[in-house]
Amino acid sequence: MSSPSTTHPFLAFLAGVGKFINFFNTLVFNLVMLLLIFLVVALVGIGMAANSGNGSSFSKVVDKTALVLDLRGNLVEQYTSNPLQRAWAQANGGDDGRELQLRDLVKAIGAAKTDDRIPHLVLLTDGFNTAGFAALRELGAALRDFRASGKKIYAYGSQMDQKQYYLAAQANQVFLDPDGAVMIEGLGRYRLYYREGLQDKLGVDVHLFRVGEYKSAAEPYILDAASPASKEADMFWMNDLWQRYLGDIASARKLPVATVSAIVTDMPARVKAVDGDLAQLALNEHLVDALKTPHEVETLLASAGAADDEGDSFRQVGLYPYLAQAKAKGNGLLDGRDKVAVVVAQGEISDGKQPQGTVGGESTSDLIRQAREDEHVKALVLRVDSPGGSVFPSEQIRREIALTKEAGKPVVVSMGNVAASGGYWISMNADRIYADPSTITGSIGIFGLWMSAPRALAKIGVHSDGVATTPLAGAFDPTRPLDPVAGDVIQSVIDHGYAQFIGKVAAARGSVPAKIDAIARGRVWSGAQARERGLVDALGGLGEASAEAARLAHLKPDAWQVDYVEKPMSAFEQVVLDMSRNSRMSGMVRDFGPLATLLQGDTGARIAHELQWLQRPAGASPIRAVAHCFCGL
């Protein structure tokens, strides 16, 4: 038996000094942060006082104030950027990384509908970037509801793509810059294919293990072009989304669907007929109501409402200041109504704890558990906008959903833009599943991908050799050719995972595996098509799903509130974010610009993303089933 170890006195002294230094550093850091908070609060107070009565974003909403929704940025279910990054983006007037939460826009539009001080709403579409079709339709529904109240919507843009135009079309009047354009193209889905580069050029051997001819997520690593099955499935659901888009536009602009469709298909001839003047084309085809400069639009809005205090624009309030004032008028912390909790599952599904705006097996499960254990929460809505990811974290989340149901709390899933593959896995056990007709869902399938590089190494004169006690020892070494025995093991794991997937779906949906297999095999469906095949219970958005959750929990109308369960911001983050929304203080936030994350080029980021997800997490098993769908547009 060895004797107890002892520590040299000098080493103990050094350890004590180290602990003191750590304590001192922490103390200084906390004091500096506290000082910064007090400083920022004081500066914000000064800025608000200076801005009072000058028509700035902090001005109180008064009679004839227009709600202006500047849509620059990406439409998301939940912020993926941290508060400091958002503050920097907002202080700079929005950039390509700016994010707009769908819930914020819908809430502001709903509040303005019944606000007598808000006579109309103004949409500014320039800079509106990424948005899925389900989110577009949900936002469009909120705009139509506002318009149905008798209040007007004005939309303005200089260069409208088809997503920007979808929202603009919901307005009573659509204005386009005289040198602008409306460009409706249709839907396309193209991916990069790596087989020749990986296998022929680099000598990397790629082995794909899957179940289902439609499970095409990993095809780009073994093919040089999309498979016929992949093209067939994609065209089926894409045509459904496209026809719905045309129908929504035609309805909003009171045009025949055939007319809108012809504008797109005959675009070259129609552009030539107006000598390349795309703005005039949009006016001729009744896509817009008038061609106006920004100054002309401001003048019109001032006459429709009221001029601002300076007399050079119209009386207005932006999204965030209006939400802040609407929140101040609400019940806030004193609201004692029962809660329908909403947990957002947005992004790819990964192991462990992941930051807000993404899905982690542990972190998302923790949020669901938090909602389940809250006695004030009577029902749960899982808002899913995810193409899937790893199977194990998907199963972790599904188990938490099952436990929540067992605890007597109804669970309703609201599918957003995408709820496919692993996104469907985490949804299937809900009491009810809602989807927008244009949600991308299904893709029930599993695959595994293995890459080995002995040929690549041989190109530079490097070879692998040795001995092992069993056939499997070293079989998953990527420097060696994949042994067929190891391949059989992987395929068996994939087969088992697929059988589990369709078995769990069958049990959750009251069906049998054979029937689920017929509509699974990795095939993607639109929400409407999934509803026809029994994968979805009803068509609707988050509002309908929340109301259904309240009904299942036997809550009386107007006796419940929606409560998002997510990681809260720190006091410092909240103050800096609030400061960035003050026009006088935004310059100070811009000084933090170098701290913001710099975006890479689109193509480089795309390739990096498609290859990065192939990496195996440290310590993970070499055999990992994946339920992922590259099914975005």
- What residues are labeled active site? 215, 421
- Amino acid (1-letter code) at residue 360: G
Q: What is the 3-state secondary structure (H, E, C) of 186-242?
A: CCCCCCCCCHHHHHHHCCCEEEEEECCCCCCCCHHHCCCCCCHHHHHHHHHHHHHHH
What is the SS3 assignment for 159?
strand
Burial pattern 246-255, b for ≥16 Cβ within 10 A else e, equals bebbbebbeb
Long-range contacts of the stretch 554-562 (C-beta < 8 A, 24+): 555/338, 555/340, 555/378, 555/379, 559/337, 559/338, 560/337, 560/338, 560/339, 560/340, 560/378, 561/335, 561/337, 561/338, 561/339, 561/340, 562/339, 562/340, 562/342, 562/381
Rounded alpha-carbon distances, angstroms, from residue 89 to 80, 83, 132, 357: 13, 10, 22, 17
Give the integer Cα–Cα distance in Å for 366 and 582.
Answer: 35
Q: Which residue has the tokens 């009491």?
A: 431
Cα-only R_g, the chain: 28
- Amino acid (1-letter code) at residue 273: A
Q: What angle do CA 294, 300, 305 make, to 5 degrees?
A: 125
The pair of three-digit structure tokens given for residue 102, joined into one six-digit string:
């769908």
Q: What angle do CA 83, 142, 243 make, to 5 degrees?
A: 110
Instruction: Tell me the sheet residues that pair with 451.
Output: 206
Helices 133-148 and 102-113: crossing angle in degrees, nearest 10, is 10
Instruction: Tell me the sheet residues that pair with 175.
Output: 156, 290
Give the integer Cα–Cα distance in Å for 384 and 6.
Answer: 55
Instruction: Tell me the sheet residues that pair with 92.
Output: none
The pair of three-digit structure tokens given for residue 516, joined into one six-digit string:
């689920």
Give the integer Cα–Cα distance in Å for 518 and 287.
Answer: 42
Give strand ranges (E) for 485-526.
524-526
- Among 358, 340, 349, 347, CA closest to 404: 340
